[in-house]
Structure 1
Amino acid sequence: MRKLKNKILWAFVAFLSTTLAVAQSDESLNTDRPDQSEGVYTLPKGQFQVENGLVFSKEEGFDNLMLRYGLITNTEIRLEANFDVKTPDFSSTVFSVKQRLWQSERYLPSVSLIGYGQYSKGEGKAYTFDACLAFESVLADEFSLAYSLSSVQQFEGYNFTTELNYTPTSKFWGFVEYYATYQPHYAPLHNIDVGIAYFLKPNLQLDLSGGRTLFQPEANYFIGVGVGYLFK
């Protein structure tokens, strides 16, 4: 088991090193990581983007990989896979479509709609279909507010997120975020996280994040590290 975990870690390091070597594009990128909120941004037609990250807590460890492609103007398709590095096994696979509905004007926020089709192992339904409405409002030159409401387990429950973003330069941005899950017959799950992202190149992002659960008898802390790369 330990050897397999080491192989996974070295594979991630190799992927990161390769990405650093080939990053030569002058295009900029906009990722949907490392936060929990869905962004409103959609890839331009014909662009392809890879986002990958590792998240570890006391009892769990996951690798999250997302492939994104700009299908047409304001529409992108995405394939996401979550790998449990402690089992090890794939825990879920998600296909989604993101559609930009409205571009921010004056005091109105930008709005996007995301539809998901997910296959999951374990308890609950194997195949589920859910949706998310994502919003983003510009507060000032360096600050923006992102928030989203999404369904889980075939509209049996809901996720809510709200996030304050700070972008002081074109090379760096950070965030603080609150998110919660509400499901029938279960107490709400509340969490908070913070993170930073740094652009080594306009098309290459490295990120670091961490957080914890709230209002629990024993807090669960987690930390994540990841990379995003935009292909021309």
Structure 2
Amino acid sequence: MKPKKTLVLGLLIFVLSALVIPAQAQEEREELTTDRPDKSQGPGIVSRGYIQLEAGYHYQKLNASIRTHAYPTALLRIGLLEGVELRLHGAAKDSVIENGSKRHIRGWGPLSVGTKVRLWEESGWRPEAALSAMLTLPLASEVFKPDNPEPQFGVAFSHGISEKMDLTYNLGYGWAEGDPVRSYGVNITRELSDKLTIYLEAFGSKGKGETAEHQADVGLLYLLLPNLQFDVAAGRRLNKAAPHSFITTGLVVRLPR
């Protein structure tokens, strides 16, 4: 069986296994918090003993001639301790370049491993906060493999504006192709119902010696079950240096302790 088919089959088994959890266990489970599909990943931590898979499809139009596909993008989050989670991230990629003729570049993107640690809970004027650290490893198909391990660090905050509205924002610093990159993200999330949530977001990054890239998007999250969430989002560039547009959709599933 081909690696791509094996991975898709594994994801389906993971989802199906979560759906057979007894209803009582679902009722006892706490609120599902996710790090997809928005870029302004918040300070939420997967509780100790839980395993959470966040996977999806990402299409991006860089410019008139380059389009990229990533499927599936997958983030595995494992609650190690209260306030500490282990994170593993990877994706299969397919870039389509159109310059009179089409050329496909397929392969596995690099594997990233790391953690997110809660700094403190929200209290009055003080927002909830968490610190994340990831290391992108040179373990990938040759066309997507970085020359050296590349670390990324981030700090995330979240305020409860009202009972149904939250403000999330983060700052990041890391390396890409050996050069430092700074990033930011900010979004406002609004619960429309117990199952449906909408968010508006702006985010961007700036590499050394490069023009800053700024983008904005809107997304919907729908809670199918207490442990299963569907999402979809679409965004566009805010300046010419940024990728033109993107669409993403996916699922989040969480297994019990």
Q: TM-score, normalised by structure 2?
A: 0.80
Q: What is the CA deviation profile of residues 119-171 of structure 1, one whole-angstrom value per residue up to 9, with x for unaligned ones?
A: 25648643111210000011111111100001121771211101111113221
For residue 234 of structure 2, the aligned residue among 201, 207, 210 is 210
Q: Which residue of structure 2 aligns with residue 145 of structure 1? A: 167
Q: Which residue of structure 2 aligns with residue 61 of structure 1? A: 69
Amino acid paired to 2:149: Y
Shift of 1:107: 1.3
Say if 1:214 and 1:161 are closer, same or farther in 2 by CA, change over 3 A: same
The number of residues matched between the two structures is: 228
Q: Which residue of structure 2 aligns with residue 47 of structure 1? A: 50
Amino acid paired to 1:70: G
Aligned equivalents of 2:33 and 2:242: distance in 1? 35
1:119 aligns with 2:143: no
Q: Which residue of structure 2 aligns with residue 70 of structure 1? A: 79
Shift of 1:9: 11
Aligned equivalents of 1:37 and 1:197: distance in 2? 15
Amino acid paired to 2:36: R
5+ residue gaps, structure 2: 62-66, 96-104
Aligned equivalents of 1:146 and 1:171: distance in 2? 20
The answer to whether the 8 A contact 2:137-2:146 is kept is no
Amino acid paired to 2:163: D
Shift of 1:218: 9.0
The answer to whether the 8 A contact 2:213-2:242 is kept is no
The residue matched to 2:16 in structure 1 has which SS?
Answer: helix
Task: Give the superposed CA RMSD.
Answer: 2.6
Instruction: Quote the sequence identity (%).
Output: 23
Q: Which residue of structure 2 aligns with residue 132 of structure 1? A: 154
Say if 1:105 and 1:217 are closer, same or farther in 2 by CA, change over 3 A: closer
Q: Which residue of structure 1 aligns with residue 98 of structure 2? A: none
Say if 1:94 and 1:13 are closer, same or farther in 2 by CA, change over 3 A: closer
Q: What is the CA deviation profile of residues 97-131 of structure 1, one whole-angstrom value per residue up to 9, with x for unaligned ones?
A: 11000100011100000011112564864311121
1:224 aligns with 2:248: yes
The answer to whether the 8 A contact 1:23-1:203 is kept is no
Aligned equivalents of 2:17 and 2:232: distance in 1? 17
Q: Which residue of structure 2 aligns with residue 32 of structure 1? A: 35
Q: Which residue of structure 2 aligns with residue 18 of structure 1? A: 16
Segment drifting more, 147-156 vs 26-35: 147-156
Say if 1:111 and 1:181 are closer, same or farther in 2 by CA, change over 3 A: same
Q: Which residue of structure 2 aligns with residue 85 of structure 1? A: 94
Say if 1:83 and 1:175 are closer, same or farther in 2 by CA, change over 3 A: same
Shift of 1:220: 1.6
The residue matched to 2:56 in structure 1 has which SS?
Answer: strand
Aligned equivalents of 1:44 and 1:13: distance in 2? 21
Segment drifting more, 113-122 vs 13-22: 13-22
The residue matched to 1:18 in structure 2 has which SS?
Answer: helix
Shift of 1:18: 3.1
Shift of 1:29: 1.6
5+ residue gaps, structure 1: none
